[in-house]
Amino acid sequence: MHEAVAGIARLLRGRRVLLLSGAGISTESGIPDYRGPAARARPVTPLTYREFMGSSEARARYWSGSLVGWPRIARAAPNRGHAAAARMEEAGALLGVVTQNVDGLHQAAGSRRVVELHGSLATAACTDCGTVVSRAELQLRMLSENPAWASAGGRTAPDGDAASAAAALPAFIVPACTACGGILKPRVVFFGENVPAVVSEAAFAMLREADALLVAGSSLAVYSGFRFVLRAGREGKPVAIVTMGPTRGDSHAAARLDAPLGEALPLLAELLLTSRLTQDEEACGSRSSRQPRWQG
């Protein structure tokens, strides 16, 4: 793997690099994905925006599952991949992160310039009046109103919910907006829902600054992420992809590595930052050699 990562380092070295991350970077933090190798063995059908907004049963299914699955998301900690991305940004090897994830782990690891394409699970908002509530507060409300669910279990999905027992759903009290009684929705982009224009523009603005795109942990099956690979290609910016399993963007990549991100990204950071330090030292030496010596 070292040789393959070294090749990616050579491709990215000296360029302003934008990181596009997907669910695969968070699997080592205990958060499952939809399309990785493990997910293909246990497929999960995600809830769509239309279903959530159009069906009280679908909302009961989501929020009951979210009550069960939220603790796993809340206690998840950044892994070595997140830490490596933050370290590269701090050292100037990355200009920022555009992430498809909704778990907040890039920020928790120390990344500062992050665009969350699909939003964040940390809050929910009323679809009628816009009132925002923290997800932690909402968890306490749901537990208070649905005490029988406190001990419920289920297989957690990537978006923080879990499979619920259909027979129990009619008894579940779905949280409503305390300000107007409207529908509360997590502040994430559901399948079938558009990424807000202001978010897309912020992400593309970062891509315009970049000279290269590094994709980490994304199958690129969803167009909201794949379009960045297409744009980079049209603008002549090289694309490197590091993820487990095939991706929709493989044919567009100048470099491709199938490897765990917790191993590959720290190694990439080490190679890029070592070379950057060497370049800085050489530049400093060159400037010093040009300075006139003081003569007494």
Q: Please say if 118 is a catalytic residue.
A: yes
Q: Which amino acid is at 156?
A: T
Of 264 and 32, more confident: 264
Q: Average pLDDT, stretch 161-165?
A: 54
Q: Average pLDDT, stretch 177-191?
A: 97
Which superfamily is assigned to 2-281 in CATH? TPP-binding domain (3.40.50.1220)
For the chain, the structural domain boundaries read 2-281
Query: In the predicted model, what is the mean pLDDT of the chain?
Result: 88
Rounded CA separation 182/151 (Å) = 28
Buried b (16+ CB within 10 A) or exposed e, 83-121: bbbbbbbeeebbbbbbbbbbbbbbbebebeebbbbbbbb
Torsion sign over Cα 278, 11, 105, 200:
positive
Q: 52-71: per-residue pLDDT in tens?
A: 999 999 999 999 999 998 99
Of 11 and 274, more confident: 11
CB neighbourhood size of 23 (10 A): 24
The one catalytic residue in 2, 82, 106, 118 is 118
Lowest mean pLDDT among 27-31, 87-91, 155-159, 193-197: 155-159
% the chain with pLDDT above 70: 83
% the chain with pLDDT above 90: 77
- 205 is written with which tokens? 């603005």
pLDDT score recorded for residue 34: 61
Q: Which has the closest alpha carbon to 207: 15, 4, 18, 7? A: 18
pLDDT score recorded for residue 295: 34
Is the pLDDT at 160 greater than 60? The verdict is: no
Is the pLDDT at 116 greater than 80? The verdict is: yes
Cβ atoms of 77 and 108 closer than 8 Å: yes
Planar angle of CA 185, 41, 59, nearest 5 degrees? 15
Rounded CA separation 52/49 (Å) = 5
pLDDT score recorded for residue 171: 87
Is the pLDDT at 258 greater than 70? The verdict is: yes
pLDDT score recorded for residue 150: 74
